[in-house]
Amino acid sequence: MNNQTKPAKQATALYFDGKKAPQITAQGKALLAEEIIAVAKEAGVHIHEDPHLSNFLQMLEIGEEIPKELYLLIAELIAFVYMLDGKFPEQWNNLHQRIVQQV
């Protein structure tokens, strides 16, 4: 039998208005984390599971913007979510055709 206990579930919610850096809007562990995740799923919010990122975000305070060191990582996640939702920047219109024409 394994004596190690499983770490408590944790969750951090980010808000991004497209202008300023994303900021922490909710966070919690154990039951509160499960509630945050349930509310997010119910609202159709995409959820990303990454224990290392979650541990780091848990050190921030609610209302605090993410640090510059996380800008690229969070930007990639936001871009991926936009693509999952079928949203692309205007400059991407017919991007595949422009690539084929250049090749």
CATH 3.40.1690.10 for domain 10-102, yes or no, is yes
Mean pLDDT of the chain: 85
The pLDDT tens digits for 5-15 are 777 899 999 99
Which residues lie below 8 Å from residue 33, measured CB to CB, with a gap of 6+? Answer: 8, 9, 10, 11
- Residue 2 is predicted with a pLDDT of 55
pLDDT band at 37 (very low <50, low <70, confident <90, very high): very high
**pLDDT tops 60 at residue 70:** yes
Domain residue ranges of the chain, discontinuous segments joined by + = 10-102
Count the neighbouring beta carbons within 10 Å of the beta carbon of residue 90.
5
